[in-house]
Chains A and B, each alone.
Chain A
Amino acid sequence: MTTTANVIEVKPRKPWKATPTDRATTAFVLLMGLVIAAAAVKFTGLSGKLGFVFAFVIAATALEVFFSIRKYGRKALGDSIATSLIYVGATATFLPVASILLITLKNGVKGLRWNLFTTDMFNASFLDPIGNGGLLHALIGTLLLIVIAMILSVPMGIMTALYLTEIRGKGSNLIQFVVQAMSGVPSVVAGLFIFTSVILITPLKTSAAAGALALTILMIPTVTRTSQEVLLLVPGDLREAGLAMGATQWKTVATIVVPAARNGLITATILGVARIAGETAPLIFTIGGADKLNLNPFKDYQSALPFYVWKGLTLGTPESIQRSWSAILILLILVLALFTTARTLGGRRMK
């Protein structure tokens, strides 16, 4: 107990973090890399942005290797080369994503008007100034499509995954094969399939529901395969513990396995929605593309944000292209909002 008095005075340290010297070295490496790269572009055959980046990567890696060998010896060679390559790879992955987001934000914000969220295009043309008309119909259409596709494909996907991981019945191999094959189906084929097998011959005509059916075909394999992976991660001990308490297989799955994989199943759903949220091709044959707000998902032509974007871009006037940028931005925000909601709802009970 006497030591508790000392405890408060002792400060937690993290001696494994980079020291000021380490940080200075890193800064020096990056700075010198830039200088050498600039010099290389100026005085040698290398030219342009690509040449600059190339020279920078080589120079910075060489400097990094030099400093770590001086500090840790020859053993550090592989380590610092690998570190540099990983940074290059991470940057090469991050840059395109970041630039897509930034450009969308930059171009999209210019066209954001309140009327976009309150009106449809029934009384306006794509060629009108951005203050006329809006994309409410497309926003509602996308929401309807996503919700219906989720209602159809999340239970189906998870049930299929449960069949493959928990029941492992005779059909497992065949279903596994079909799911894998389905994940390679081009999205336009899914649209054509629903067009020929549903819209042409059943009472369900061109509508949000028909579009959602096409999207479901694309979403099921993603949900199934991701769910399968996370269900496989649930330790077998847990299943045995459940069964050993006299539970039926279904009770074990429902009260132990699925809750244990809960976060992963939410991720599976999110990945599934991400797969379909931006799809345009399967909608061309199935929702028709209305300009008027349509709240009935089972009847009449419907619109969707990707469809709206596609329409605006094909028209090609400055006004219509501006509409498309704004619609892309709104689609991104919508998807982000859906993901955040799913994560918050899913993470809530874990604590």
Chain B
Amino acid sequence: MTTENSSNENSAENQEGAEMTTETASSSLANISQAHNLGKRAPGTHVMGSGLEARGVHAWFGKHHALSNVSLDFSAGTVTALIGPSGCGKSTFIRTLNRMHEFIPSAAMAGEVLLDGKDVYAAGTDVTKIRLQIGMVFQKPNPFPSMTIGENVLSGLKLAQLKVDNKDDLLEECLVRAGLWKEVKDRLGAHAGGLSGGQQQRLCIARSLAVKPKVLLMDEPCSALDPGSTLRIEDTINELASSMTIIIVTHNMQQAARVSDYTAFFLSEGGPGQMIEVAPTNEIFSRPRDKRTENYVSGRFG
């Protein structure tokens, strides 16, 4: 639906003889996102999931200051896209949210990350519980190679030592929500390595759903996938958005426009990465407040 609309508009404009300027490109992005938002999730209707709030987050790798003073409020049940050129700290930022940043020995941070109002970095916090509530899908599909498809989906229960009454129901539910059930229901006992890249990534999404996270972080989940698989995963994200808070890092601005309610633009100008601007997605793409955001979303650099 949405893609058809935008392409019609573009071709109409082209027929009128208007050149394909950067303005038309960015406004068509905004149209995609508007159409999408009106159809699926009107602002203010979100109730599920948990809110996550970053307050003045900094991140360091040794002496290298990678991320400076990022404050972002992710309301429960929204999808937020983080965009920006490579090396601007997007991935570092989402890794501070579920405390994966600290795996790098020289890492340090500052600021607060509040999950339902509680700082995940507070003293005495059980970090495994935090990561259980804030799930993560990585750039490269990483199903566990020694497990079958079914075992992969349910691996979270074993790893986090959770008990569930009906594993089969959960297995089916997760795979259905990740949009993979139809393709794998007859070979749940097969090893995950035989799946295609897109299927593996949806398997990883299903795996992270099994432990019922309140927040799902996605670090460029479609960067290694073909357009068909990308579309399937975007459908999955739309599906999930009603029940959890999703934060997705993406280099694909059409994708940001298609899936997100809010978009935050990150940029590093020589120094540490910073969050330049955050706004509802259609605003970022139609009338960005900051000149640098406008340059980026209109494709003038980056």
Show the binding face of A for B, using Cβ within 8 Å.
Answer: 1, 3-4, 6-7, 10-16, 19, 21, 71-73, 75
List CB contacts (< 8 Å) of B63-106 with chain A: 65, 68-69, 99, 102
State whether A13 touches B68 (Cβ < 8 A): no
State whether B110 touches A11 (Cβ < 8 A): yes
Given the known interface contacts A13-B110, A75-B128, the answer about A6 and B69 at a Cβ–Cβ threshold of 8 Å is yes
Closest residue of chain A to B274, judged by CB?
A3
A132 to B111, CA, bound (A): 69
Distance in angstroms from A183 CB to nearest chain B CB is: 29
State whether A13 touches B123 (Cβ < 8 A): no
A4 to B274, CA, bound (A): 10
The reply to whether the CB of B126 lies closer than 8 angstroms to some CB of chain A is yes
By CB atoms of chain B within 10 A, which of A3, A6, A73 has the most? A3
Distance in angstroms from A9 CB to nearest chain B CB is: 10
Given the known interface contacts A7-B272, A10-B69, the answer about A15 and B123 at a Cβ–Cβ threshold of 8 Å is yes
State whether B128 touches A14 (Cβ < 8 A): no
Given the known interface contacts A3-B69, A7-B65, A75-B161, the answer about A14 and B126 at a Cβ–Cβ threshold of 8 Å is no
A19 to B123, CA, bound (A): 7
State whether A13 touches B69 (Cβ < 8 A): no
Q: Which residues of B contact A7 (CB under 8 A)?
A: 58, 65, 68-69, 271-272
Q: Which residues of B contact A14 (CB under 8 A)?
A: 102, 107-109
Q: Which residues of A contact B68 (CB under 8 A)?
A: 3-4, 6-7
By CB atoms of chain A within 10 A, which of B109, B111, B272 has the most? B109
The reply to whether the CB of B124 lies closer than 8 angstroms to some CB of chain A is yes
Q: Given B99, B271, B272, which contacts A16 in the complex, CB threshold below 8 Å?
A: B99
Q: Which residues of A contact B102 (CB under 8 A)?
A: 14, 16
The reply to whether the CB of B224 lies closer than 8 angstroms to some CB of chain A is no
Known: A7-B65, A7-B69, A10-B110. 11 other contacts (CB 8 A): A4-B271, A6-B68, A6-B69, A7-B68, A7-B271, A12-B108, A13-B109, A15-B109, A16-B99, A16-B102, A72-B128
State whether B58 touches A15 (Cβ < 8 A): no
Q: Which residues of A contact B122 (CB under 8 A)?
A: 15
Complex A-B: 30 CB contacts under 8 Å: A1-B269, A3-B68, A3-B69, A4-B68, A6-B69, A7-B58, A7-B272, A10-B58, A10-B110, A12-B58, A12-B110, A13-B108, A13-B109, A13-B110, A13-B121, A14-B102, A14-B107, A14-B108, A14-B109, A15-B122, A16-B99, A16-B102, A16-B127, A21-B123, A71-B124, A71-B126, A72-B126, A72-B128, A75-B128, A75-B161
Closest residue of chain B to A10, judged by CB?
B110
Given the known interface contacts A6-B69, A10-B56, A75-B161, the answer about A15 and B128 at a Cβ–Cβ threshold of 8 Å is no
A7 to B111, CA, bound (A): 12
The reply to whether the CB of B296 lies closer than 8 angstroms to some CB of chain A is no
Q: Which residues of A contact B127 (CB under 8 A)?
A: 16
Q: Which residues of B contact A73 (CB under 8 A)?
A: 126
A12 to B63, CA, bound (A): 10
Closest residue of chain A to B63, judged by CB?
A12
Closest residue of chain B to A11, judged by CB?
B110
The reply to whether the CB of B138 lies closer than 8 angstroms to some CB of chain A is no
The reply to whether the CB of B60 lies closer than 8 angstroms to some CB of chain A is yes
Q: Which residues of A contact B56 (CB under 8 A)?
A: 10
Distance in angstroms from A240 CB to nearest chain B CB is: 18
Q: Which residues of A contact B107 (CB under 8 A)?
A: 14
Closest residue of chain A to B112, judged by CB?
A15
User: Contact mask B239-275 → A, CB, 8 Å, 1/0?
Assistant: 0000000000000000000000000000001011010
Closest residue of chain A to B65, judged by CB?
A7
State whether B99 touches A12 (Cβ < 8 A): no
Closest residue of chain B to A78, judged by CB?
B161
Q: Which residues of A contact B111 (CB under 8 A)?
A: 10
A344 to B107, CA, bound (A): 26
Distance in angstroms from A154 CB to nearest chain B CB is: 33
User: Contact mask B1-19 → A, CB, 8 Å, 1/0?
Assistant: 0000000000000000000
Closest residue of chain B to A20, judged by CB?
B123
Closest residue of chain B to A14, judged by CB?
B108
List CB contacts (< 8 Å) of B157-186 with chain A: 161
Distance in angstroms from A207 CB to nearest chain B CB is: 50
List CB contacts (< 8 Å) of B25-77 with chain A: 56, 58, 60, 65, 68-69
Q: Which residues of A contact B109 (CB under 8 A)?
A: 12-15
A21 to B123, CA, bound (A): 10
Closest residue of chain A to B109, judged by CB?
A13
A14 to B58, CA, bound (A): 11
A11 to B126, CA, bound (A): 24
Distance in angstroms from A26 CB to nearest chain B CB is: 15
Q: Which residues of A contact B272 (CB under 8 A)?
A: 7
A75 to B68, CA, bound (A): 36
A79 to B290, CA, bound (A): 49
Q: Which residues of A contact B128 (CB under 8 A)?
A: 72, 75
Closest residue of chain A to B107, judged by CB?
A14
Distance in angstroms from B159 CB to nearest chain A CB is: 11
Q: Which residues of B contact A13 (CB under 8 A)?
A: 108-110, 121
By CB atoms of chain A within 10 A, which of B102, B110, B122 has the most? B110
Q: Which residues of B contact A16 (CB under 8 A)?
A: 99, 102, 121, 127
Distance in angstroms from A238 CB to nearest chain B CB is: 18
A1 to B127, CA, bound (A): 34
